[in-house]
Structure 1
Amino acid sequence: MMTNLFSTFDPSTYFFLSLNWLSTMMSLLMIPLSYWMIPSRYNIILMNLMTTLHKEFKMLMGPSNFKGSTILMISLFIFILMNNFMGLFPYIFTSSSHLIFTLTLALPLWIMFMLFGWINNMNHMFIHLVPQGTPPILMSFMVCIETISNIIRPSTLAIRLAANMIAGHLLLTLLGNTGSMMNFNLLNILVLIQLLLLLLEFAVSIIQSYVFAILSTLYSSEVI
């Protein structure tokens, strides 16, 4: 019995331990490549995905990127994607719908980018605060706007991912709670709608993982 609608995202369990955070680690069980003598279909799909992401992230970072820098973004994408997918299965905790999870990913990345940029490319960071072609009278105003936009970047990354994962789950929960009050014909329509929403949630899981990784890559390319 749910006390409120948002109790579906409650991390507390029995025995006074938040054991459902262990669902975050379940994604590691899906990537044991060393257990296969020959590449499986899953491995082939994963390698093709990683190759495509590597090419795209390398293009976004530009020619001045460091060797192996795309590995971080590919790992970030796969980690978020696995956690988003795990949350779509029944009775599995959706860790990516909590800000404590998304902020843990976004905040250290942003701090790392800012420290690297201000320590190694300070002049470039100051120049970036004033967009090209800004009138002199608006320069001080644009510096304030760009500074605020840089500061709120980790929170926008975190809130975007968490809010999109919460929205679909809440909609599925709301529709599921109305099933007991419907007749057989309406119940069939409800099940069909929920299946379509579940497909939409799969798409949202992929898109939000991609958006998080792409925006992190763009933020890193600005400080190089």
Structure 2
Amino acid sequence: MVANLFSSFDPSTSFALSLNWLSSMIFLILVPSLFWLIPSRIVMIWTMLTLFVHKEFKILINNPNYKGSTLIFSSLLVFILLNNFMGLFPYIFTASSHLNFSLYLSIPLWLSFMIFGWIKNTSHMLAHLAPQGAPNTLLPFLVLVESISNLIRPGTLAIRLTANMIAGHLLITLLGNSGPLMNSFMLNILILTQILLLTLESAVSIIQSYVFSILVTLYSSEIN
């Protein structure tokens, strides 16, 4: 029995099992099979999506020495995108609406960028802490602000993804629970509203995966 509204996002709610996290790996069964099939429209769409994302990230990195470095960011976008879409289906656990999921993606990437940047480009990283042309009296304050904003980057990435995914799901759940109390006319309006919300959530799923991967790409380009 659901104790409150947020318990529907509990990993162990369904059947008292914690295996719900395996839902984030369901697409691994489906995606590799595309590469063993005769080229079809699905494979063409997948290839077009991959090339489009590669071109977008290549412009942001803007460094010809890092060939193929967009692969990890493209994979990150597809991974988050598919997990966001999985959560829109009934009885499938939404892994991307949990901080555990998003923090495990953002913290290792951010930490690896920081370690690489401070070891290989120490002077460049120090220059980022003091913006060019800033008055000398404000430099200590600006260094403090830049340091704090750099430290909270993985947290803001994780919270942005989690908050946007859980907000729409909560609204859909809240409206769906009020369905049995409505008459037939209001129920039709509710169904139409739910369809519109699902359409909006589909757009949010795409946008949030794109924003997450784009911001990670921008953070990586700052250390070069």
Fold similarity call, TM over 0.5: yes
Q: Which runs of 4+ in 1 moved over 3 A?
A: 13-17
**Partner SS state of residue 131, structure 2:** coil
Partner of 1:43: 43
Partner of 1:171: 171
Q: Aligned Cα RMSD in Å? A: 1.2
Residues 111-190 of structure 1 aligned to structure 2 (within 5 Å): 111-190=111-190
The answer (yes or no) to whether the contact 1:77–1:209 under 8 Å persists in 2 is yes
The answer (yes or no) to whether the contact 2:20–2:93 under 8 Å persists in 1 is yes
Matched letter for residue 144 of structure 2:
C
CA distance in 1, matches of 2:14, 2:144: 48
The answer (yes or no) to whether the contact 1:13–1:19 under 8 Å persists in 2 is no
Partner of 1:192: 192
After superposition, the Cα gap between the structure-2 partners of 1:16 and 1:172, relative to the gap in structure 1 and judged at 3 Å, is closer
**Partner SS state of residue 82, structure 1:** helix
CA distance in 2, matches of 1:7, 1:141: 43
Tell me by how many angstroms 1:40 deviates. 1.7
Partner of 1:18: 18
Count the aligned residue pairs.
Answer: 223
CA distance in 2, matches of 1:15, 1:74: 34
CA distance in 2, matches of 1:43, 1:15: 36
Q: Give the % identical residues.
A: 64
CA distance in 2, matches of 1:100, 1:14: 18
Partner of 1:33: 34
1:79 aligns with 2:79: yes
Gaps in structure 1 of 5+ consecutive residues: none
CA distance in 2, matches of 1:39, 1:108: 36
Matched letter for residue 7 of structure 1:
S
After superposition, the Cα gap between the structure-2 partners of 1:158 and 1:14, relative to the gap in structure 1 and judged at 3 Å, is closer
CA distance in 1, matches of 2:143, 2:209: 31
The answer (yes or no) to whether the contact 2:11–2:17 under 8 Å persists in 1 is no
The answer (yes or no) to whether the contact 2:7–2:13 under 8 Å persists in 1 is no
Partner of 1:208: 208
Tell me by how many angstroms 1:2 deviates. 1.5
CA distance in 2, matches of 1:63, 1:22: 37
**Partner SS state of residue 223, structure 1:** coil
CA distance in 2, matches of 1:159, 1:216: 14
CA distance in 2, matches of 1:30, 1:84: 16
CA distance in 1, matches of 2:180, 2:16: 31
